[in-house]
Amino acid sequence: MRCEMCGRETELYRAIIEGSQLTVCNSCAKYGKITGRFTEAAAETRDNRKEAKKISDEPLESVVSNFGEILKKKREELGMTHKDFAAKIAEKESVLRKLETGSVKPTLERARQLERMLGIRLVEELKDEPIENQKSSSAVTLGDVVKIKIRKKG
Span 76-123, pLDDT tens digits: 999 999 999 999 988 999 999 999 998 888 888 899 999 998 999 998
Q: Which strand (E) or helix (H) includes residue 87? A: helix 82-88
Span 30-63, pLDDT tens digits: 888 888 888 765 223 333 444 444 455 566 888 8
Asked if the model's pLDDT at residue 14 lies above 50, the reply is yes
Per residue, the 3-state secondary structure of 26-55, as one string, reads HHHHCCCEEEEEEEEEEEECCCCCCEEEEE
CATH label, 63-126, candidates 3.10.20.30, 1.10.260.40, 1.10.443.10, 3.40.50.720: 1.10.260.40
* In the chain, domain spans: 13-58, 63-126
pLDDT of residue 49: 42
